[in-house]
Amino acid sequence: MPDPSLLGVWVRRFLLEHLVSERNLARNTQQSYRDTLALLLPFAATQQKRAVDRLLVCDLSSDTLKRFLDSLERQRNCSIRTRNQRLSAIHAMARFIAERSPEHIEWCNEIRSVPFKRFNRPTLPYLDKLEIDALLAAPDRGTSQGRRDHAVLLFLYNSGARATETACLRVADLDLRPGGINAIKLNGKGGKTRFCPLWATTAKELLTLTQNRTPDQSVFLNRLGQAITRHGIYAILRRYVVKAAANCPSLLRKRISPHTVRHTTATHLLRSGVDINTIRSWLGHVSIDTTNIYAETDLEQKAHILAHCGSFQVESSHRKHWRDEPSLMSFLRSL
């Protein structure tokens, strides 16, 4: 029977049993947790002068953890967001161990007492209407590659899908009905499924793109006829950002990725009057708090509201100080 005092025993269970079987987290998330532990364990082993496989749970103290986080920032030049992401993964492992091993509850509390570092959240980047229009106009639709690239960009903007969701899209996930409601099924993080409506123009392009394809084939293929990867989607976007910048130079002043297009979709939906809960469902967010970020960062929407509100005037009226209201004090004393 494996020794429960060894950290390696719990690391294996955490990665295979908890993340995969119990939580069913996305592959990228699993890899992020794995990478965190792949950095932490050699660091802790060096600190304790032990082999990695002989590390005990108690060898990972809060002081060791703090030194590890400090090394991420100073030696690896990681941002505070990355530091906090690594710490979140370690907190999750500590909680997993404590739930299954009561003798490690005190150790878990020590590890989870290591705080996250505060930082100024950067403004979410998004494209204005002129910028997204310039980007969509960049591909040469006279060629097969240009038509595919335009379909990729239009789909990203229409659906707000993540790069991985777009790369994994299958013909069977398309529900295209001439004269009816066009929609697609997206398989998001943690195996969650959501449905997203499509514009008629998007549906038409996808229908043309997938002619004579079997349901199990990918919608977007590379030049070798294989399913496009998320890295391929990044490459397509970068290529047309440079091309579109000839007519829209502001594109070069922004850091643009498929997730930027996702932010653009959310922001433009919000400006069009779509309620925040519908946008949450559209993007596949678990928490409404995640979607609320778009309402907080859309300066144009705030300015629009302010222009319609006019100036606020506060009525100046003499009000008694609360200490001069004996009835209220009597009420409080009676409680």
Last residue of a domain, one of 71, 86, 112: 112
Structural domain contains residue 330: no
Confidence at 291, pLDDT banded by 50, 70, 90: confident
Out of 68, 86, 112, pick the residue that ends a domain.
112
Supply φ then ψ for residue 185, to 5 degrees: -100, 125
Question: How confident is the model over 229-249, as pLDDT tens digits?
Answer: 999 999 999 999 999 999 999
Tell me, what's the pLDDT at 239? 96
> Per this entry, what is the length of the chain?
335
User: Same domain for 87 and 214?
Assistant: no
Residue 297's pLDDT band, with cuts at 50, 70 and 90, is low
Same domain, 94 and 208: no
Q: Would you tell me the crossing angle of helices 129-137 and 144-159 to the nearest 10 degrees?
A: 150
pLDDT at 25: 80
Q: Is 259 a residue of the active site?
A: yes
The stretches of the chain forming alpha helices (DSSP H) are: 7-13, 27-48, 62-74, 80-100, 105-112, 129-137, 144-159, 163-167, 200-209, 230-244, 258-271, 276-283, 288-297, 299-309, 326-334
DSSP for residue 218: B
Of 171, 21, 7, 40, which Cα lies nearest the Cα of 114?
40
pLDDT above 80: residue 157: yes
How much is the pLDDT for 310? 46
138 in any annotated domain: yes
State the average pLDDT over residues 50-73. Answer: 96
| 165 and 234, same domain (yes or no) | yes
| Catalytic residue from among 95, 147, 189, 204 | 189
Task: Name every residue whose Cβ is closer than 8 Å to that of residue 234 and which is 6 or more positions away in sequence.
Answer: 163, 257, 258
Answer whether residue 119 is part of any domain: no
pLDDT at 262: 92
Average pLDDT over residues 250-270: 92
Q: Tell me which of 162, 170, 263, 280 is the catalytic residue.
A: 162
Same domain membership, residue 148 and residue 103:
no
Residues 79 and 22 in one domain: yes
Domain count, the chain: 2
Q: Could you tell me how far CA 219 lies from the centroid of its own chain? A: 23
Q: How far apart are CA 257 and CA 266, in angstroms?
A: 15
Q: Name the range with the highest mean pLDDT among 149-163, 167-181, 301-315.
A: 149-163
pLDDT higher than 60, residue 62: yes
**Active site residue: 23, 67, 259, 271, which one?**
259
Question: Is the predicted pLDDT of residue 89 greater than 90, yes or no?
Answer: yes
CATH number of the structural domain spanning residue 207: 1.10.443.10
**Torsion sign over Cα 315, 318, 324, 326:** negative
Overall average pLDDT of the 138-146 stretch: 95
The reported pLDDT for the residue numbered 323 is: 56
Q: Residue 332, Cα to own-chain centre: how many angstroms? A: 48
Are 257 and 193 contained in the same domain?
A: yes
Residue 162 designated active-site: yes
Is 294 a catalytic site residue?
A: yes
Between 102 and 327, the higher pLDDT residue: 102
Domain that holds residue 271: 129-308
Strand arrangement of the beta sheet that strand 174-175 belongs to: 174-175, 183-187, 193-197
Does 193 share its domain with 135? yes
- 315 occurs within a structural domain: no
Residue 284 clears pLDDT 90, i.e. is over it: no
Q: Is residue 212 part of a domain?
A: yes
Mean pLDDT across the chain: 87
Q: Kindly give the interhelix angle for 288-297 and 276-283, rounded to the nearest 10 degrees.
A: 120
* Residue 325 domain flag: no
Query: Average pLDDT of 11-38?
Result: 89
74 and 193 both lie in a single domain: no
8 Å CB contact between 118 and 70: no
User: What pLDDT was estimated at residue 311?
Assistant: 42
Strand partners, 175: 183
Active site residue 189: yes
183 inside domain: yes
In a shared domain, residues 214 and 278: yes
The mean pLDDT of 263-268, rounded to a whole number, is 90
In this prediction, residue 319 carries a pLDDT of 54
- In the chain, pLDDT over 90 holds for what percent of residues? 66
Q: Which residue has the higher pLDDT, 315 or 174?
A: 174
pLDDT band at 123 (very low <50, low <70, confident <90, very high): confident
pLDDT reported for residue 302: 47
Q: What is the percent of the chain where pLDDT is above 70?
A: 86
> Is 302 domain-assigned?
yes
The answer on 299 and 151 residing in a single domain is yes
In the chain, the amino acid numbered 48 is Q
Q: Are residues 188 and 49 in the same domain?
A: no
pLDDT confidence bin for 191, thresholds 50/70/90: confident
Spell out the SS3 assignment of 113-153. CCCCCCCCCCCCCCCCHHHHHHHHHCCCCCCHHHHHHHHHH
pLDDT at 264: 92
Q: Are strands 193-197 and 174-175 parallel, antiparallel or unpaired?
A: unpaired
pLDDT tens digits, residue range 298-315? 555 545 544 544 444 444
Q: What is the mean pLDDT of residues 32-36?
A: 94
- Look up the CATH number of the domain holding residue 96: 1.10.150
Q: What token pair was written down for 177?
A: 């009905």
- Residue 304 has a pLDDT of 52
What backbone torsions phi and psi does residue 8 show, to the nearest 5 degrees?
A: -60, -35
Candidate list 18, 86, 262, 268, residue with the active-site label: 262
CB 7 within 8 A of CB 41: yes
Amino acid at position 125, single letter: P
152 touches 219 (CB < 8 A): no
Which residues are registered as beta bridge partners of 218?
Answer: 170
14 and 145 part of one domain: no
Whether pLDDT at 39 is above 80:
yes
Cβ neighbour number for residue 259 with a 10 Å cutoff: 15
